Copies of this chain bind each other. A is one copy, B any other.
Amino acid sequence: MDNFTFANPTKIIFGKETENQVGKEIEGYSKKVLLHYGGGSIKTTGLYDRVISSLKKSGIEYVELSGVKPNPRLSLVKEGIKICRENNIGFILAVGGGSVIDSAKAIACGVPYEGDVWDFYLGKNIIKKALPIGVILTIPAAGSESSKNSVITNEDGWYKRGVGAPALYPKFSILNPELAFTLPKYQVACGAADIMAHLMERYFTNTRNVELTDRLIESTMKTIINNVPTVLNQHDNYDAWAEVMWAGTVAHNGLLNTGRVGDWGSHGIEHELSGIYDVAHGAGLAVVFPAWMKYVYKNDVNRFAQFAVRVWNIDNSFWDVERTALEGISKLENFFRRIGLPTTLSELGIEDDRLEEMAYKGTNGETSTLGNFVKLGKEDIFNILTLAK
């Protein structure tokens, strides 16, 4: 186990009807908020009205900025920064999934910063302060509701880049599983793939002696595997949704990577995919991750065998551990297919004519590598994308 520091201050408010507390939760921070959300779904479900009513009860003024898209855009972030400055806004409330939250985080750190907010995403500067943000989560997926990270897409060149800083932890996140009842099935499945990917990025490590976190990750994966098919069949099964929603947050709040180095190569490759093709992040991950696994599993067959046995209940082939390892990968692919996700680029509608371009961009023009479990150069990324065809 490596030395580590862990602190996650986000207050989680979990359960039925908890969105009605949002005004009260904001009261201590500011009387003027930016209400940030995506499309109109929060209006059709009635969530919007409940949020407004709670804000009004607490005497909180709000300015709205909607229109966040999946793979949230830098241009909207800049608009948000401008609105916050002009209106002297002191708090950002994100109502939505990971894209809305990540966009809110970008606005939050952009407001007090004199330079271009994209600097942070390019690593040119470090986030020291940000407006406080709060979250009402509607999609279990990104884990951004209790993370310090934000991923934004710059339309100028379609670069998708991430940043992390303690100032970006939401002050609170309201998690009501009922809010997920109305999600389209494909979005549910994409969210599940995102959560599984967060767990697997942490799981596949070269750090030795990480038994507790190995087991905690396995537990969280099993919970996702067990409950996602249920919510796909019974969209209003509160108990199963509660498992999925809480697992999605636990997957990404920092606890499960304490003392270990995660991989994050598949996320890096997927960012190139969804940066160019604007596919759903979870769908991209369902395509990239199994290909990545097939490409790298020989780096530590035992770890892949442990994944197969403990997560997928496969009988270990003691005299052929590689077979066990491969069965685990196959089970993961089957799971993705079973919940309705693509597992190849062609199913995503992506041709093979830009694989090299993605490999080139993913390594910043062959100046860097992706991932830690195995360091991937341009050729490796190209090979993985080829395996994913």
Most buried by B among A2, A4, A211, A223: A211
A154 in the interface, Cβ–Cβ < 8 Å? Answer: no
Known: A14-B259, A215-B222. A7 touches B9 (CB 8 A): yes
Shortest distance from the beta carbon of A369 to any chain B beta carbon, whole Å: 26
Are A8 and B8 interface neighbours, CB within 8 A?
A: yes
Shortest distance from the beta carbon of A154 to any chain B beta carbon, whole Å: 33
List chain B residues, Cβ under 8 A from A6.
11-12, 14
Select from chain B the residue with minimum beta-carbon distance to A219: B215
Q: How far is the CA of A7 from the CA of B172 in the complex (A)?
A: 9
Are A14 and B3 interface neighbours, CB within 8 A?
A: yes
Give how many copies assemble into the complex.
2
Q: How far is the CA of A271 from the CA of B3 in the complex (A)?
A: 35
A10 in the interface, Cβ–Cβ < 8 Å? Answer: yes
List chain B residues, Cβ under 8 A from A18.
3
A13 in the interface, Cβ–Cβ < 8 Å? Answer: yes
Chain A contact-residue range equals 35 or more
Interface segment, one of A122-130, A238-246, A348-356, A358-366: A238-246
Q: How far is the CA of A18 from the CA of B4 in the complex (A)?
A: 10
Are A1 and B243 interface neighbours, CB within 8 A?
A: yes
List chain B residues, Cβ under 8 A from A242.
1, 209, 259
A5 in the interface, Cβ–Cβ < 8 Å? Answer: yes
Select from chain B the residue with minimum beta-carbon distance to A227: B211
Q: How far is the CA of A39 from the CA of B21 in the complex (A)?
A: 48
Q: How far is the CA of A11 from the CA of B258 in the complex (A)?
A: 12
Are A246 and B5 interface neighbours, CB within 8 A?
A: no
Are A259 and B246 interface neighbours, CB within 8 A?
A: yes
Shortest distance from the beta carbon of A300 to any chain B beta carbon, whole Å: 17
Q: Could you mark each residue 214-225 of chain A with 1 if its beta carbon is under 8 Å from any beta carbon of chain B, else 0? A: 011011101100
Shortest distance from the beta carbon of A186 to any chain B beta carbon, whole Å: 24
List chain B residues, Cβ under 8 A from A218.
219
Q: How far is the CA of A127 from the CA of B14 in the complex (A)?
A: 24
Say which residue of B4, B13, B239, B259 sits within 8 Å of A5 (CB atoms): B13
Q: How far is the CA of A124 from the CA of B136 in the complex (A)?
A: 36
Are B9 and A9 interface neighbours, CB within 8 A?
A: yes
Say which residue of B3, B222, B227 sits within 8 Å of A15 (CB atoms): B3
Q: How far is the CA of A211 from the CA of B9 in the complex (A)?
A: 24
Q: Could you mark each residue 194-210 of chain A with 1 if its beta carbon is under 8 Å from any beta carbon of chain B, else 0? A: 00000000000000110
Q: How far is the CA of A128 from the CA of B212 in the complex (A)?
A: 35
Shortest distance from the beta carbon of A381 to any chain B beta carbon, whole Å: 33
Say which residue of B2, B5, B11, B216 sits within 8 Å of A219 (CB atoms): B216
Q: How far is the CA of A209 from the CA of B239 in the complex (A)?
A: 6
Say which residue of B14, B15, B220, B239 sits within 8 Å of A216 (CB atoms): B220
Q: How far is the CA of A259 from the CA of B243 in the complex (A)?
A: 10
A338 in the interface, Cβ–Cβ < 8 Å? Answer: no
A317 in the interface, Cβ–Cβ < 8 Å? Answer: no
Known: A219-B212, A219-B216, A226-B211. A12 touches B5 (CB 8 A): yes
List chain B residues, Cβ under 8 A from A8.
8
Are B212 and A247 interface neighbours, CB within 8 A?
A: yes
Q: How far is the CA of A15 from the CA of B4 in the complex (A)?
A: 7
Q: How far is the CA of A16 from the CA of B258 in the complex (A)?
A: 14
Q: How far is the CA of A371 from the CA of B16 in the complex (A)?
A: 26
Are A7 and B10 interface neighbours, CB within 8 A?
A: yes
8 inter-chain pairs at a CB distance below 8 angstroms, sorted by A residue, are A1-B15, A2-B15, A14-B258, A15-B259, A211-B227, A212-B220, A212-B243, A212-B246
